[in-house]
A = this chain, B = another copy of it.
Amino acid sequence: MTTRSGRHFLQIPGPSSVPDRVLRAIAQPTIDHRGPDFAELGLDVLERVKPVFGTSGPVIIFPSSGTGAWESALVNTLSPGDRVLAFETGHFATLWRGMAEGLGLEVEFVPGDWRRGVDPHIVAERLAEDRNHSIAAVMVVHNETSTGVTSRVPQIRAAIDEAGHPALLLVDTISSLGSIDYRHQEWGVDVTVSCSQKGLMLPPGLGFNAVSEKALAAAGRARLPRSYWDWTPILQANERGYYPYTPATNMLYGLREALLMLEEEGLPNVFARHDRHAQATRAAVRGWGLEVLCADEREYSSVLTAVLLGEEYDADKVRQIILDRFDMSLGTGLSKLAGRVFRIGHLGHFNDLTLAGTLAGVQMGLELAGVAIDPGGLGAALELLRTE
């Protein structure tokens, strides 16, 4: 029997489920973006968002998708023909590379097998080889949403420092921010790229750049054409809580509410919650006798788990059965991984029993799809949820 009643299980790795509280905040009447009430809102969110990025410096907020925030990171800091070092960690890293090339940058793209993060040794090696410092920036995807692999940014930072290389460090935290421990300032990141619809528990529609002093200095020299993405007029208007254009006021209402929720739970608790749910999910995957795509346990993602199926199965068929029968959305395998993996999102506004329902749905769906699994997987996850 197929049911479509109750809440949809939105277990893709983003957009995550938006809390009712945030949805109600977004539904407040729009106000004058040049009036005193807006200034108060603007100053408030610009300040409250900083700890989530782990920075005391500026965070720039755009009405945009996360890809817009990528573009902003590039056009504000680089010039036509600049070389950047990037890593094939998965689908999104590959897209970002394509964007960089499309904007006229030269990308040195280190190949990868989509099961591992950025190797700090290779970073060190490539930068050491770059004696004349022709590489202007290193582009890293913190959490690869397509693979469930989290690159180790502190080690990458250390590798850059070790090489004594002045390259900027640009990091995409689109699916990690607000869910996985992240420290823009402490880790010496120059531009942190992010968006609203994952750990920040908002609908899609906002892009973010947290920027270092060094990035701001680079912006003064960068010559890629920029207008909408230009940090300078925004930072200037932000000083009094305003924007140079009409900002996405209602999304900012939601952002304030979501930031309050993160403060109430406490960021360390939020991170621990995600770690624990990821552990339980991996326990289920292993219990089923299936393989987690991420090949290095130091790089397991706490926001999503990509599950690798044997070649005899079609992961999209499994997803379709689960959607049809159990009204749950899972993430598809992207490009190279199409049909081979499905992705379980366990991020944002989420709890133990929703995870239990999610894993129950995956288990039943695998069985219905004829994938040979050990039904003990769910029990292994519950064991962890119960005891830890």
Q: Does A224 contact B (CB under 8 A)?
A: yes
CB pair A27–B30 under 8 Å, yes or no, is no
Bound-state Cα–Cα, A4 to B386, Å: 15
Q: Cβ of A18: which chain B residues have Cβ within 8 Å of it?
A: 29-30, 250
CB pair B326–A197 under 8 Å, yes or no, is no
Q: Which of the four size classes fits the interface of chain A? A: 35 or more
Q: Using a CB-CB cutoff of 8 Å, which residues 216-270 of chain A contact chain B?
A: 224-228, 230, 244-251, 265, 270
Q: Using a CB-CB cutoff of 8 Å, which residues 83-103 of chain A contact chain B?
A: 99, 102-103
CB pair B246–A7 under 8 Å, yes or no, is no
Q: Cβ of A273: which chain B residues have Cβ within 8 Å of it?
A: 1, 3, 5
Nearest-neighbour CB distance to chain B for A295, whole angstroms, equals 26
Q: Which residue of B lies closest to A363 (CB)?
A: B382
Bound-state Cα–Cα, A363 to B249, Å: 29
CB pair B64–A6 under 8 Å, yes or no, is no
CB pair B204–A63 under 8 Å, yes or no, is yes
Nearest-neighbour CB distance to chain B for A284, whole angstroms, equals 12
Partner of A249, one of B15, B33, B328: B15
CB pair A246–B354 under 8 Å, yes or no, is no
Nearest-neighbour CB distance to chain B for A150, whole angstroms, equals 20
CB pair A64–B66 under 8 Å, yes or no, is no
Bound-state Cα–Cα, A2 to B354, Å: 14
Q: Which residue of B lies closest to A20 (CB)?
A: B29
- Segment from A48-56, A110-118, A154-162, A344-352 that makes contact with B: A344-352
CB pair A245–B65 under 8 Å, yes or no, is yes
CB pair B68–A6 under 8 Å, yes or no, is no
Q: Cβ of A17: which chain B residues have Cβ within 8 Å of it?
A: 6-7, 29-30
Q: Cβ of A26: which chain B residues have Cβ within 8 Å of it?
A: 26-27, 250
Nearest-neighbour CB distance to chain B for A335, whole angstroms, equals 13
CB pair A3–B102 under 8 Å, yes or no, is no
Q: Which residue of B lies closest to A345 (CB)?
A: B32
Q: Cβ of A354: which chain B residues have Cβ within 8 Å of it?
A: 6-7, 357
Q: Cβ of A27: which chain B residues have Cβ within 8 Å of it?
A: 23-24, 26-27
Sampled A-B contacts (16; CB under 8 Å): A1-B272, A7-B29, A10-B30, A12-B34, A24-B24, A26-B26, A26-B250, A71-B227, A102-B226, A203-B250, A224-B225, A327-B351, A360-B360, A375-B379, A378-B378, A378-B379
